[in-house]
């Protein structure tokens, strides 16, 4: 048999708003209007303010480790607006704060979470968001499961989007989720924020793929690379993927090329492994800068509005911190009462006495019955 090509593919890159704030009007058709652009810019700026204050909270010992969203905000806001609030599900990692807020999560929940209080993970009723996921890649399986359940139930006009970084695509859970989603053709959008670094490992060293997007080809999944600092491109890519999902077209993969302007977390010092020239180059691509340049070119933004937004962002974040730090202290009973549907008797005793009995005193707790084991016996 002669040689023949059995599979051929290409990866397209989408950019609509460039680093100078110049818009490709043809590609921008049916995407965002100026009112929506202003709204998304405001959400990004408020999220940036939250990042700065959270950093100070950690440094002053008022909060634990925190991962800044700085530089990646366009991914969150553009995708969030493209998804249907109250209907679709958002399954986040931990750099999608603005998307969570836009879909109904009270802002102080994120601060409470990073303060080490699990009540930050208690999502309010009716808010279709799963808790933040620190383990890398595990939540993508949950997203696929939610989407599969939605398909089984024949729920109309409902999709799921899950966010993760480039490093997560090197994890086995990623491939398991992608394969299952493709085989079962579930309405799920896999959104990769390729911020160039898997903590301290550059993308080029933790994968040999020229793009992250091409990994979806192995699962015969529609895939696209977008400029992740471009709110227009992000919105369009997710909007198209969502439409395909709810119309029965199955899952999609989006690689958003962006950059983590801050450290991996407040426990990290990126200066130890990143070239400062690289960071400075990406600062010029900041989504807030290019979006503001566009708005000013359209005459819908000026220095006065910027100053008003700065003041509003400070007030909002100030109230958020106040709410987080003023949360009622948890009761020790919570640990027991929310662990079991029906609390076992020994656990009731622990809850009421705040004491636990040792195995030596009460061996029946672990089923040690009968004759004691002799030394040296098997």
Residue tagged active-site, from 260, 290, 292, 294:
260
- CA distances to 68, 111, 279 from 178, rounded to whole Å, are 27, 31, 32
Active site (annotated) includes residue 273:
yes
d(CA 373, CA 99): 58
Residue tagged active-site, from 13, 59, 271, 273:
273
Q: Which two tokens stand for residue 210?
A: 């020229």
Active site (annotated) includes residue 94:
no
Show the DSSP H helices in 69-222 as ranges: 73-82, 97-102, 108-114, 139-152, 172-184, 203-206
Show the DSSP H helices in 269-374 as ranges: 276-283, 287-298, 303-325, 333-337, 345-353
Residue tagged active-site, from 48, 103, 203, 264:
264
d(CA 253, CA 239): 12
Active site (annotated) includes residue 264:
yes
d(CA 328, CA 317): 19
The DSSP-derived string for 35-60 is HHHHHHHHHHHHHHHHHHHHHHHHHT
Q: Residue 196, SS3?
A: coil
CA dihedral (255, 259, 264, 265) in degrees, to 10, reads -100
Give me the active site residues, please: 260, 264, 273
């Amino acid at each position: 048999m002669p040689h023949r090509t059995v599979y051929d593919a290409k990866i397209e890159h989408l950019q609509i708003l460039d680093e100078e704030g110049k818009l490709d009007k043809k590609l921008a058709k049916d995407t965002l209007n100026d009112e929506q652009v202003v709204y998304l810019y405001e959400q990004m700026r408020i999220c940036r303010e939250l990042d700065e204050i959270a950093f100070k909270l950690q440094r002053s010992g008022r909060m634990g480790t925190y991962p800044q969203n700085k530089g990646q905000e366009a991914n969150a806001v553009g995708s969030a607006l493209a998804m249907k609030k109250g209907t679709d599900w958002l399954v986040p990692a931990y750099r999608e704060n603005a998307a969570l807020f836009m879909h109904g999560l009270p802002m102080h929940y994120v601060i409470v979470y990073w303060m080490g209080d699990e009540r930050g993970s208690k999502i309010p009723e009716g808010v279709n968001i799963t808790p933040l996921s620190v383990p890398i890649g595990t939540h993508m399986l949950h997203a696929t499961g939610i989407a599969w359940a939605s398909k089984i139930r024949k729920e109309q006009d409902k999709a799921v989007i899950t966010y993760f970084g480039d490093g997560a695509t090197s994890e086995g859970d990623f491939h398991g989720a992608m394969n299952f989603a493709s085989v079962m053709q579930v309405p799920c959008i896999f959104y990769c924020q390729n911020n160039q670094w898997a903590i301290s490992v550059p993308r080029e060293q933790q994968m040999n793929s020229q793009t992250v997007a091409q990994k979806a080809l192995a699962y015969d999944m529609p895939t696209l690379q977008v400029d992740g600092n471009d709110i227009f491109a992000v919105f369009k890519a997710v909007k198209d993927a969502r439409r395909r999902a709810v119309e029965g077209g199955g899952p999609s993969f989006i690689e958003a090329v962006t950059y983590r302007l801050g450290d991996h977390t407040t426990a990290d010092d990126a200066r130890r492994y990143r070239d400062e020239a690289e960071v400075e180059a990406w600062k010029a691509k900041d989504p807030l800068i290019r979006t503001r340049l566009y708005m000013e070119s359209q005459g819908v933004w000026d220095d006065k509005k910027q100053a008003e937004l700065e003041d509003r962002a400070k007030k909002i974040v100030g109230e958020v911190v106040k709410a987080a730090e003023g949360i009622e202290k948890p009761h020790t009973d919570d640990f027991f009462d929310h662990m079991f549907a029906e609390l076992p008797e020994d656990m009731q005793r622990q809850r009421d006495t705040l004491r636990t009995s040792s195995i030596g005193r009460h061996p029946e707790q672990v089923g040690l019955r009968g004759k004691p084991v002799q030394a040296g016996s098997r």
